[in-house]
Amino acid sequence: MKNYQAELFSPEKYRLAEGPLYDGRTGRLSWVDIAEGRLFWLLPDGQRGEASFGEKLGAAIPCREGEGFVLALEKGLWLYEKGEKTLLRDLSGELEPWQRCNDAKADAAGRLWVGTVSDDMERGFNGDLFCFAGGALRKMEAGTKLANGLARSRDEKRFFFVDSMDVAVYVYDCDPVTGALSGKRLLYKPDKALPDGLCIDAEDNLWVALWGGRVEQVDGVTGEVLATVTVPAERVTSCCFWGEKLDSLFITTFGDGMEGEGDGRLYTCRVDAAGLPADTAVIR
């Protein structure tokens, strides 16, 4: 099994850094701080930008047209473009008052997949997995506990999904045309850690961020652990491939209330794998 060591990417500390994505069309790297409701991005020339939205921000997905993002804010999906945000879909009718949007990803067809979670632990862990396309919203998986990382195989025929409170990564059969899911089965349960976000490489292996100070590369068919990236933070939240060759991981971590020097910081690690280009959302 291969072992890697993540290195500090930048010294800023975040309460809950999450949702990293690299847009290979522009070289823009982006991530969010869920707890602060802020979006951050870094351009190839080193220029940084950020935007604040005044509520929790689960994810920000680049749009296929233009340079905007689709935002998964607490109770709705919004287009953020040129400093302005426009409501795409109000989700308040689908969510309980104590629920909010969490992680989200686009697929090759431009559909947006978003999980919802409870924001009140007294209500327990409960949420759903939705798909948004063409203005329509479909519930794809009901009764999830803590919806987190999402990814698809290169041929779009397998869908991977993290339910953190099940301590599990599941795999489904997926219809690339309709997006329909079937055949849910367990792929991987980490040892002594909670799985959070993830990304996928060109060989259809997953890189799973763990609340256990590491990222694990997992065989997308067998669930076997192939490699470990040690991260100097206790709670690793997500990762994505980035860079010109897509051969490095960009890694986010949790820092809220944590006392470790490395907690809440951003990391990077070059690995012996290459990622797939990130899918973008179609909103028009």
Domains of the chain: 2-270 (2.120.10.30)
User: Any idea what the Cα angle at residue 160 is, between residues 193 and 10, rounded to 5°?
Assistant: 60
Give the C-alpha distances (Å, rounded to integers) separating 61 from 113, 121, 231, 249. 10, 27, 25, 18
Q: Check if the beta carbon of residue 249 is closer than 8 Å to that of residue 239.
A: yes
The rounded distance, in Å, linking the Cα atoms of 24 and 244 is 8
Q: Which of 118, 213, 215 is nearest to 169 (CA)?
A: 215
Per-residue tokens: 155: 């041929």
Count CB neighbours of 48 within 10 A: 11
- pLDDT string in tens for the chain (284-residue length): 999 999 999 999 999 999 999 999 999 999 999 999 999 999 999 999 999 999 999 999 999 999 999 999 999 999 999 999 999 999 999 999 999 999 999 999 999 999 999 988 777 889 999 999 999 999 999 999 999 999 999 999 999 999 999 999 999 999 999 999 999 999 999 999 999 999 999 999 999 999 999 999 999 999 999 999 999 999 999 999 999 999 999 999 999 999 999 999 999 999 999 999 999 999 87
Query: What strands, in cross-sheet order, belong to the sheet with 147-152?
Result: 147-152, 158-163, 168-174, 181-188
> Taking phi first (over 0 means left), then psi (-120 to 50 degrees means alpha), and beta for anything else, what does residue 262 get?
alpha
For residues 246-284, one letter each, b for 16 or more C-beta atoms within 10 angstroms of the residue's C-beta and e for the rest, the string is bbbbbbbbbbeebeeebbbbbbbbebebebbebbbbbbe
The rounded distance, in Å, linking the Cα atoms of 197 and 246 is 18
